[in-house]
A = this chain, B = another copy of it.
Amino acid sequence: MSVTAAALAELIGAELVGDGSLPLDGVAKIEDAGERKVTFIANRNYLKYLPETGAGAVILASIPEGEEGRRSYLVTDDPYAGFVKVLRHFHPEPAKPEPGVHPSAVVAGDAVIAESASVGPLSVVESGAAIGERTVLLAHCYVGRDANIGADCFLHTRVTVRERCEIGSRVVIQDSAVIGSDGFGYAPGEEGYAKIPQVGNVVLEDDVEIGANTTIDRATLGCTIIRRGVKLDNLIQIAHNVDVGEDTVMAAQVGVAGSSTIGRRSMFGGQVGISGHIRLSDGVMIAAQSGVHKDFGPDRILGGYPAVEIREWRKNEAAIRQLPDLIKRVRKLEGGK
C-alpha cells in the first residue's frame, strides 16, 4: 500500500520539494505522524507543530523559513483539498453492501426498489415507497408510505423517512435522523390544544447531508425544503415549512423555528436559534449560540442575543467589561467616593 511522495504530489497536483522517492503508507495528524506518514497544514494555527512533527511529508501552501530540507513537502494552493485526495487514496470508499433486500427486512409488495439498491437488515419500506438506483439503506431504516428516495443515496442505520417525503440523489443521512416528523402546530381551544393536521412533507434536494439525530419536521401545508448541497450537522431542529437555501451549512444543535427562510451559502455556528417567520438573505454568517429574532440582508455577519452585526456585538461586549469600572467613575463624578 506504500506510495512515493512524488506519486502523491502528482496525484494532488502539488509541487514536490524534497525526496520524491520517500515511501509513504498513510495519513496522520501532524502531532502523531511518523516518518512513513503524510500530514497537512491548512490552518496557520497548526504551523507550530511543524518543527516537531515526525511526518515524512507535509502538504502545505508554503514552506516556513528554517524548515526547508527537513522533510519532503507537497506545496499546493489548497492544502486541504490535497489532503482530502490523499486521504481518499489511502482510505478508498468502503465496499458498499451488496444490492438487494436483506431477508429480514419488511418491504411492502408494491414498493419499488431499484435492482442496484440495497435495503439492510430489519429495515421497513412501506407501501408505495420508491428507492432509486445504487441507494443504500443500512440496518433498521424506515421508509414511509409513498416516500421517494433518489439514486446514489446513503442512509446510515435507523434513519426514518416518513410518509410522502421526497429525497433527491446523492443524499447522505447519518444515523437516527428523522425526516418528516409532524410539525409542532396546535390550535388553542376550550379543551386545551387541538392538533393541527400536518399534511405537507419534507423535500431534501440533491447532495444534501443530514446529521445524526437531527429532526426535520414536515410542513403543515406544502413543503419543508432543504435545498441542493445543504449540510446539517447532528441534533439540529428544522421546524415545519422552513426553507434552507442551497449550500448552506449549519453546525450541531442549531434550531430553526417554523416558516423561516434561510438564504444560500449561509453558515451557522453551533446552538444558534432562529425565530419563526424570519427571512435571512444569502451568505449570512452567525456566531455560535446567537439568537436571531428579525430579518437580515445578504452577507451579514451576526452575533449575540438578540443577534446584531458582529462588530456591534463585540463593541457592546467590550463595553460591558468596562461597565463595573464606569459605575465607579460616575459615582466619583457625582461627588461620591
Which residues of the other chain, B, contact A184 by a CB distance below 8 angstroms? 211, 231, 233-234, 251-252
Q: Shortest distance in angstroms between A9's beta carbon and chain B's nearest beta carbon?
A: 18
Q: A178 contacts B174, CB within 8 Å?
A: yes
Q: A189 contacts B231, CB within 8 Å?
A: no
Which residues of the other chain, B, contact A172 by a CB distance below 8 angstroms? 182, 195
Q: Shortest distance in angstroms between A320's beta carbon and chain B's nearest beta carbon?
A: 5
Q: Cβ of A207 < 8 Å from any Cβ of B?
A: yes
Q: B235 contacts A235, CB within 8 Å?
A: yes
Q: Known contacts being A181-B175, A197-B84, is A320 close to B316, with CB within 8 Å? A: yes
Tell me the complex Cα distance, A186–B305, Å.
Answer: 28
Q: Cβ of A222 < 8 Å from any Cβ of B?
A: yes
Q: Shortest distance in angstroms between A217's beta carbon and chain B's nearest beta carbon?
A: 7
Which residues of the other chain, B, contact A176 by a CB distance below 8 angstroms? 158, 160, 176, 178, 213
Q: Which of B80, B158, B247 contacts A158 (CB 8 A)?
A: B158
> DSSP majority for the A interface?
loop
Which residues of the other chain, B, contact A246 by a CB distance below 8 angstroms? 192
Which residues of the other chain, B, contact A32 by a CB distance below 8 angstroms? 222
Q: Cβ of A11 < 8 Å from any Cβ of B?
A: no
Q: Cβ of A229 < 8 Å from any Cβ of B?
A: yes
Q: B271 contacts A273, CB within 8 Å?
A: yes
Tell me the complex Cα distance, A327–B329, Å.
Answer: 10
Tell me the complex Cα distance, A251–B257, Å.
Answer: 9
Tell me the complex Cα distance, A317–B84, Å.
Answer: 45
Tell me the complex Cα distance, A122–B122, Å.
Answer: 7
Chain A positions within 8 Å of B, measured between CB atoms, are 27-29, 32, 45, 80-81, 84, 87-88, 91, 93-94, 102, 104, 106, 120-122, 124, 139-140, 142, 144, 156-158, 160, 162-163, 172, 174-176, 178, 181-182, 184, 186-187, 189, 192-197, 199, 207, 209, 211-213, 215, 217, 221-222, 228-229, 231, 233-235, 237, 239, 241, 246-247, 249, 251-253, 255, 257, 270-271, 273, 275, 277, 288-289, 291, 305-306, 312, 315-324, 326-327, 329-330, 333-334
